[in-house]
Structure 1
């Protein structure tokens, strides 16, 4: 059985908390969508140039302009440029879906329509599981690559992120359950 909350943080109602969570989540999804679109369109070439500059610093190699341009062309031809663009496009799609569910939830909470809130709950649970797994893999990578401090920081951020996400899901689910019980009582 799922825990049922009576109010959101700071004593505000579940409805108000759900709307606030939806608006903040929507802002985050919109920012992620914009960043993903920018990453897909311009970020991949810039990442390759940054890679070459970092290589010059670490290896002490100095490239003249012709060598630099040739190296950039080689990177564009052989690297995961298309893979990275595809990743950004996939992220943009996920953030777009996320934004749609956030908008549905805000309107559903305002109109007290539980059917418009349920998709957000399902999506949020799925996203929590996937993000937790990917973050954990990323943390393990940092620990094994010698960046233990980054790994510890990532672990703390993961714990806080999971706690907040679970609380937000509980608030929205409690409001959803409250709406369903009110609708059921009104039919009797």
Structure 2
């Protein structure tokens, strides 16, 4: 895993600071998505009631077809809103644990839910973006499709960088936890200690510097 790690965030910031920034961004995005999902669900419910009232005024022969069309459209919209609300809720929940870990600079296990969730979401979004990009190329022209794919690639690259920042911070915290446990053992008979492919100096049972 050491080859997949990032040593620092942008502008020389530490991984801890980078994880905080990523967490705040995800928390804002998740909150906005949750609010929009709720608002759209309420708007759709109001619109359905209005459309059903209008449809009742149509000719009987056309009522069933119109009603089926409206029902299908709002069912799809409602399903999308439910998915958005659930996804946003999971994002908010996992991000809260991420921020707790980053602010306290410990408990690496608090980062795992976010890492797993974002990895799954990333794969789903990549698949959807490729499909939709091809669809746009066929329906709207290659220019639109290629533009969408380029934008998706840029967004995916930034997202992937954020994910690796959090993953690297998770690995860093795990190493620190192991080092802390290792240093608490009795090592008074040693002056040089090997740990995790590195060599450290120890004094009175405590590791205090890297060789």
* C-alpha contact (below 8 Å) 1:33/1:96 kept by paired residues: yes
Runs (4+) of structure 1 exceeding 6 A deviation are none
Provide TM-score, normalisation by structure 2: 0.73
Unaligned runs of 5+ residues in structure 2 are: 183-211
Match of 1:29 in 2: 30
**1:113 Cα shift?**
1.4
Provide TM-score, normalisation by structure 1: 0.81
Match of 2:80 in 1: 87
Greater C-alpha radius of gyration? 2
Answer 1 or 2: which has greater strand percent: 2
* 1:139-163 per-position Cα deviation (integer Å, ceiling 9, x unaligned): 1111111343321221111111111
- 72 and 169 in structure 1: CA distance in 2 versus 1, 3 angstrom threshold: farther
**1:175 Cα shift?**
0.5
CA distance in 1 between counterparts of 2:42 and 2:173 reads: 43
Unaligned runs of 5+ residues in structure 1 are: 50-65
* 1:80-135 per-position Cα deviation (integer Å, ceiling 9, x unaligned): 21232122112111111111111110111112210111111111111100011111
Which structure has more relative contact order (CA 8 Å, sep 6+)? It is 1
**1:173 Cα shift?**
0.6
Q: Does 1:98 align with 2:91?
A: yes
**1:76 Cα shift?**
4.7
Tell me the C-alpha RMSD between the 2 structures: 2.5
SS, match of residue 27 in structure 1? helix
Aligned with 1:78 (options 53, 69, 72): 69
Q: How many residues align?
A: 171
